[in-house]
């Protein structure tokens, strides 16, 4: 069908661009630059080897320095082990099977590490992630074949592609809804339970989407579902849902490695549950025996004759035979754990993990669907007759590398398409529990048809009496012009001004929070170069008390899903041509503005920004609230 042919073509374009960017980044950079970008871990210490299935081994490594840099790889990523003595030749490809903090395990298709691995200076480079693209391509091909073949498996595919309408069984009664849920949350859960094939939960910032989903999944099981798949594009979202579902007493099995390492979360993972399985004692004994045979074989590693060679081969053969028994027992353990789980949780691509690849479900839930690439969504969709999409397509969109693919339609998410096609399947969560009503109101007006309401517990919350919940500080005419160096955009004078203002504000906080914990403060900018400037200024600043400990500085994208009591936004752009780059993506600013609970301060140049309706109207909104201020008012500081 043309639908899938077009989508596959756009995905190929995206893969090509993604690979090109990766190759450009890695081909011309040093090991130290790659390390700084999270593409390389170096140096590494070998913490031990154990036999794996077939001719494979698992090796555990630990990163011994530069531990504050976030890795650009994850469990399932292809990586290359190298020795920096001879990095072009001493290389061995493997797959990350476990990643936790500064430790990881890599599975290598070899019976022993090469000699050079004993000589130190080891590191790993991440390789281009072909696996995710392969799984997406495969899912699109299967979906297309189902559509062409017809039959009972094609109903959901037809609905998503616009060939059939979703159906709802309104006679199905929904009992036992928690009295703590508001009306729109109850409506969303009812819609999910009554849906035969598709339901959509649109959850704006702070509206309790996760709470709603957890209750809906629990009720889906109460209504007779035997097994539910819960997915999201990010590990963080999957971890949160896994934890919350487990807290309700449901049997959750987390596939993949949890991103947030906590004892409770780790106990939900497949690796942990395999280690706790009664049959694991037998596995450990088998593996110990296989390792003994391999260790004996390794004694014949250098300078041996025919007899030694035969003895070495016999030892490896015996180890291999033992590992075949291990494989069978591990498969039994895995099947047992999967069978007992009510809920399987994984990322979109992780839902095709070998341990669950052939499992079918009664329903699949996709959280953060407003950030998910459509081809990735098809991986879990094909595993169930019913789909629930949850998220907010008015916040950050998926990251797409190819401008052409984005322009041709890859940027439109499945949630956007289905919301447009089937408004009857959508429930908007209307009551928010995060923001003062003045912070909420502009976002509600622009993105949510004025339907958002602030819950009474937050509607009038202030840091202290008389404080402004929203303000725009206009730097027009101050000469705070942006600087562009190698495409990096910053505004040093605006950054300095922000800290002058923050200093005065913190002096007020000291007066009002004498014996109390200070409020959390986020300083946000859309531009990485400006963020770095702001981070440097924070380090240098002489803010009173220990307020620095309550302040974080980062880009907008990094704050998705988070909240702070106070948010400062440095808009950065200030130029005579009114160029604002990706500030023109209003959804990014929706995320930035709605992180604030009690106070939002936006600092920017109205002369540059007000050429665009979104910013012109926001400035007018602050004027109507008597919270438009000129930077000149603060210059005496």
In this structure, are 156 and 239 located in the same domain?
yes
Alpha-carbon distance values, 326 to 32, 33, 112, 284 (Å)? 40, 41, 18, 9
212 in the same domain as 83: no
Gap between the Cα atoms of 186 and 207, Å rounded: 12
Q: Which residue range is the domain that position 69 belongs to?
A: 38-128
204-213, 433-442, 573-582: range with lowest mean pLDDT: 573-582
Q: How many independent structural domains does the chain possess?
A: 4
Q: Is the pLDDT of residue 256 over 60?
A: yes
Question: Is the domain of 246 the same as that of 143?
Answer: yes
Looking at residue 322, its pLDDT comes to 74
Token representation of residue 153:
């498996």
Residue 54: band (very low, low, confident or very high) from pLDDT cuts 50, 70, 90: low
Single out the residue of 373, 389, 279, 363 nearest to residue 326, CA to CA: 279
Which 8-state DSSP code applies to residue 560?
A: T
Co-location of 93 and 155 in the same domain: no
Please check whether residue 20 lies inside any domain of the structure: no
pLDDT tens digit sequence for 551-601: 999 999 888 889 999 999 999 999 999 899 888 889 999 999 999 999 999
Task: Specify if 27 maps to a domain.
Answer: no
d(CA 200, CA 423): 9
Residues 6 or more apart in contact with residue 521 via CB below 8 angstroms: 502, 547, 550, 551, 552, 564, 565, 566, 567, 568
What CATH number is associated with residue 381?
Answer: 3.40.50.300
Residue-level pLDDT at 164: 94
Helix (H) or strand (E) holding 211: helix 209-222
**Chosen domain end from 403, 429, 455:** 429
Does a structural domain hold residue 12?
no
> In terms of domains, do 489 and 596 share one?
yes
Confidence of residue 247 (pLDDT cuts 50, 70, 90): very high
pLDDT band at 305 (very low <50, low <70, confident <90, very high): low
Answer yes or no: do 441 and 588 share one domain: yes
Can you give the pLDDT at residue 637? 47
Average pLDDT value over all residues in the chain: 90
Q: Highest-confidence range of 94-98, 347-351, 579-583, by mean pLDDT?
A: 347-351
Taking the mean position of all CA atoms in its chain, how far away is CA 384? 23
Lowest mean pLDDT among 20-24, 218-222, 309-313, 327-331: 309-313
Residue at token pair 């609905």? 159
Question: What was the pLDDT predicted at 7?
Answer: 97
3-class DSSP assignment, residue 575? coil
Average pLDDT over residues 189-199: 97
13 is a domain residue:
no
Task: Indicate if the pLDDT at residue 217 is higher than 50.
Answer: yes
Predicted pLDDT of residue 65:
87
Same domain, 179 and 206: yes
Specify the pairing of strand 78-83 against strand 40-51. Answer: unpaired
Domain match, 397 and 441 both: no
| Domain-embedded: residue 85 | yes
CATH number of the domain to which 85 belongs: 2.40.30.270
Taking only the tens place, the pLDDT of each residue in 384-425 is: 999 999 999 999 889 999 999 999 999 999 999 999 999 999
Average pLDDT, integer, range 284-300:
70
- Same domain, residue pair 158 and 204: yes
3-state secondary structure of 376: helix
Write down the pLDDT at residue 568. 98
Output the pLDDT for position 302.
55
Closest CA to 46 of 102, 109, 107, 122: 122
Let me know if residue 516 belongs to a domain: yes
Looking at 128, 155, 172, the residue that finishes a domain is 128
**Averaged pLDDT for residues 450-466:** 96
Measured CA to CA, the distance from residue 498 to residue 571 in angstroms comes to 11
Lowest mean pLDDT among 235-249, 324-338, 357-371, 465-479: 324-338
Arithmetic mean of pLDDT, 495-507: 95
Bridge-based pairing of strands 40-51 and 122-126 is: antiparallel
**Mean pLDDT, range 230-252, rounded to an integer:** 94
Q: Which three-class secondary structure state does DSSP give residue 518?
A: coil
Does 436 score more than 60 pLDDT?
yes
* Assigned domain for 262 exists: no
Closest CA to 417 of 636, 149, 198: 198
Closest by alpha carbon to 129, among 23, 47, 262, 210? 23
Residue 260's pLDDT is: 65
Confidence of residue 87 (pLDDT cuts 50, 70, 90): confident
Residue for token digits 């998910």?
A: 372
pLDDT at 300 over 70: no
According to the model, what pLDDT value does residue 70 have?
A: 78
Do 451 and 530 fall within a single domain?
yes
Asked if pLDDT for residue 4 goes beyond 80, the answer is: yes
pTM of the model: 0.89
Q: Is residue 269 part of a domain?
A: no
Whether 219 and 171 map to the same domain: the answer is yes
Q: Both 564 and 465 in a single domain?
A: yes
Domain termination site, one of 80, 99, 128:
128
């Amino acid at each position: 069908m043309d639908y899938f042919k077009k989508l596959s073509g756009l995905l190929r374009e995206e893969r090509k661009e993604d690979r090109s960017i990766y190759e450009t980044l890695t081909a011309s950079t040093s090991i130290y630059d790659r390390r700084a970008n999270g593409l390389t871990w170096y140096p590494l210490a070998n913490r031990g080897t154990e036999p794996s299935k077939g001719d494979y081994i698992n090796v555990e490594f630990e990163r011994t320095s530069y531990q504050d840099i976030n890795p650009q790889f994850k469990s399932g990523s292809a990586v290359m082990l190298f020795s920096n003595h001879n990095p072009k030749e001493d290389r061995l490809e493997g797959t990350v099977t476990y990643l936790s903090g500064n430790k990881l395990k890599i599975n290598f298709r070899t019976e022993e590490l090469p000699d050079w691995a004993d000589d130190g200076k080891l590191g790993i480079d991440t390789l281009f992630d072909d696996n995710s693209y392969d799984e997406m391509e495969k899912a699109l091909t299967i979906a297309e074949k189902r559509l062409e073949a017809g039959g009972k498996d094609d109903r959901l595919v037809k609905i998503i592609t616009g060939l059939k309408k979703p159906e709802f069984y309104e006679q199905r009664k929904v009992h036992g809804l928690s009295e703590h849920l508001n009306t729109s949350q109850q409506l969303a859960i009812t819609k999910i339970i009554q849906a035969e094939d598709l339901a959509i939960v649109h959850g704006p910032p702070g509206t309790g989407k996760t709470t709603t989903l957890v209750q809906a999944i629990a009720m889906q099981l109460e209504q007779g579902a035997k097994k539910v798949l819960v997915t999201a594009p990010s590990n963080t979202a999957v971890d949160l849902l896994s934890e919350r579902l487990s807290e309700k007493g449901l049997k959750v099995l987390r596939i993949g490695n949890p991103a947030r390492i906590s004892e409770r979360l780790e106990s939900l993972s497949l690796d942990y549950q395999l280690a706790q399985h009664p049959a694991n004692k037998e596995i450990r004994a088998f593996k110990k025996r296989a390792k003994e045979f391999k260790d004996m074989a390794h004694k014949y590693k250098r300078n041996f004759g025919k007899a030694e060679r035969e003895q070495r081969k016999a030892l490896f053969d015996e180890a291999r035979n033992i590992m075949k028994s291990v494989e069978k027992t591990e498969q039994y353990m895995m099947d047992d754990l999967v069978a007992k789980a009510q809920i399987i949780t994984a990322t979109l691509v992780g839902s095709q993990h070998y341990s669950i690849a052939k499992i079918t479900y009664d329903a699949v839930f996709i959280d953060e669907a407003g950030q998910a690439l459509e081809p990735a969504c098809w991986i879990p969709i094909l595993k169930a007759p019913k789909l629930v999409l949850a998220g907010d397509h008015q916040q950050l969109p998926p990251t797409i590398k190819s401008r052409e693919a984005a322009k041709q339609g890859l940027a439109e998410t499945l949630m956007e398409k289905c919301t447009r096609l089937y408004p009857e399947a959508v429930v908007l969560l209307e009551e928010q529990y995060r923001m003062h009503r003045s912070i909420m109101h502009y976002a509600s007006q622009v993105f949510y048809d004025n339907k958002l309401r602030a819950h009474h517990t937050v509607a009038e919350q202030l840091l202290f009496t008389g404080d402004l919940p929203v303000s725009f500080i206009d730097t027009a005419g101050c000469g705070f012009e942006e600087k562009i160096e190698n495409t990096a955009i910053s505004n040093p004078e605006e950054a300095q001004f922000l800290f002058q203002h923050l200093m005065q504000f913190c002096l007020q906080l000291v007066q009002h929070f004498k014996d109390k914990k200070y409020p959390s403060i986020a300083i946000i900018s859309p531009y990485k170069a400006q963020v770095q400037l702001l981070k440097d200024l924070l380090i240098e600043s002489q803010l009173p008390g220990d307020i620095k400990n309550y302040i974080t500085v980062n880009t907008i994208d990094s704050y998705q899903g988070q909240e702070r009591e106070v948010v400062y936004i440095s808009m950065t752009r200030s130029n005579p041509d009114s160029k604002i780059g990706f500030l023109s993506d209003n959804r990014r600013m929706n995320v930035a503005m709605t992180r604030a609970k009690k106070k939002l301060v936006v600092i920017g140049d109205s002369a540059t920004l007000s050429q665009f309706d979104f910013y012109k109207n926001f400035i007018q909104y602050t004027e109507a609230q008597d919270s438009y201020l000129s930077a000149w008012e603060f210059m005496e500081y």
